[in-house]
Chains A and B, each alone.
Chain A
């Protein structure tokens, strides 16, 4: 186990390095800079600013400096929010994104697996067709269409839920009301994908011999489903969840925009627009690491679901 973790850690280093290099040089090659303001700065001031942030050095030297600081855990100051470090900004934005994405994924897995199993049990019956038509709709209607429509209905016409923002107070004290619409919007597409995947693999599993044996022994459908069929049927679903988490993360950029939530996605877009080199790099690296972590967790769960896959 320890060796596996260590190996994965080592393997992730080149991936992250490539990611850092691509992002770093892409940002620097782009026109514009962090000190482009409406009012032109005096040349001396700008020169001083550039020197203070080491922007006057040759590019490779800056890259080396960035990596060196990174290795010591220093991600540098934000260019845009002058008095805060990048790490502080991430610390304020990530909990919002995590809450949003985590809740959405949880709902997506629970609802998706239930609906998919139901459809598989009632294969080629109305319940199956209905569920699958719903799933196809969920896949085909983009979340940036669903989001505004939900706001229109539940916030503007009915007035049941707030249209956006984070809300006052903690989640327990009513802050959850602000999360209902964004989480639901974000979860919808994933529910649809997971339901389709579960249905497909569940149908295959239900056809296999060990399920037939269980039926012959007179076990109830519920017991067969939960005790025997669910685990093998979940394997393709789990291997989907890794990339899907990445999808949720990127999807949340749009959701955060629609619902005016101060998450990481928003920082990323404004950061890129303002050429906030350090902030953008941190967010990209952070998400890269997050994806690697998710893939690793998926592999672990995979090993638990299917002992044969353990080496």
Chain B
């Protein structure tokens, strides 16, 4: 931590240097760096992603290969770090494979909701007036729908298709994004620096690119880190109900569901995937909180 301030602070003990222009991002970065919980969460998440992405290919076992001689081995026996499941498959490899799917669904669905939400919200915010009112009224109406039920229905009716999970979950979450982006855009449109840019002859496209979007990006980044865990949760919730991905493919939700059936005899089948799931959600939430502190100008003024 001590080396962080060195390049700037070393030369100027008495007189502050003519401050280099500090962008939103460098400012946010230094705030974030001081937030130990958020940094720890980021590091753990990084390791976790690395493990999940590389692990299944490096493991000596295949995640989908049953072994009838090694059914339900406890952890650390027979060369299985986490033991084996009720079909004799290596639980460590399966946990990592499940993580692949859970993370993939989390990120992909968040991207779906991001694209739709930003397009919808920014359009409504920019155009304003009647278009805005109609578009937001649609969002209001959709908000009142019991979405989780529609997603369950979708999964039950049209089979357990990973692509469908992405779309279905993304379809729930874009509403929040649209509202947030619209609110931000409305506020930004009125700000002096936008007016100044306009007066000095910057074209609309450039204003949007250079001034509106970077200011939206902060909110979007916060939202993304907080949405990914929600999406992972929804996916595992669907999987828990038996509506998610199908055997032999697996996700943390599927594993928790299977594990909870065996928990009296083989608690490790529940504990390991549950722990991975919880730690991941924990880290995303802490990181999101830290990013909110670092990037949300409204919160900063309160301190």
Contact = CB atoms under 8 A, between A and B. Distances in A.
Interface of A: 12, 14-15, 18-19, 22-23, 26-27, 29-32, 136-137, 139-142, 144-145, 147-149, 152, 156, 204, 246, 249-250, 253-254, 257-258, 268-269, 272-273, 280, 283-284, 287-288, 291-292, 295
Residue from B153, B154, B256 whose CB has the most chain A CB atoms within 10 Å: B153
Contact of B233 (A26, A142, A246): A142
Interface stretch (B4-12, B49-57, B120-128, B273-281): B273-281
A272 B260 CA distance: 24
B264 A142 contact: no
A234 B153 CA distance: 35
Secondary structure at the B interface, as helix, strand, loop or mixed, is helix
Given A137-B282, A140-B278, 6 more contacts: A14-B141, A27-B153, A32-B157, A249-B146, A272-B153, A272-B156
Given A23-B153, A26-B153, A284 B146 contact: yes
Q: Give the interface size class of chain B.
A: 35 or more
B285 interface: yes
B144 A257 contact: no
Contacts, number: 116
23 contacts: A15-B141, A15-B145, A19-B145, A19-B146, A23-B150, A27-B153, A27-B157, A32-B157, A136-B282, A139-B285, A140-B279, A142-B236, A142-B277, A144-B256, A145-B277, A147-B260, A250-B146, A250-B149, A269-B152, A287-B146, A288-B146, A292-B144, A295-B144
Nearest to A196: B289
Contacts of A14: 141
B57 to A, nearest CB: 28
Interface of B: 141, 144-146, 148-150, 152-154, 156-158, 229, 233, 236-237, 240-241, 253, 256-257, 259-260, 263-264, 267, 270, 274, 277-279, 281-282, 285-286, 302
A136 B253 CA distance: 20
Contacts of B236: 142, 144
Residue from B156, B236, B237, B263 whose CB has the most chain A CB atoms within 10 Å: B156
Contacts of B253: 144
A12 B274 CA distance: 40
B263 to A, nearest CB: 5
Secondary structure at the A interface, as helix, strand, loop or mixed, is helix
Given A137-B282, A139-B285, A268 B152 contact: yes
B241 A257 contact: yes
A150 to B, nearest CB: 11
A197 B154 CA distance: 33
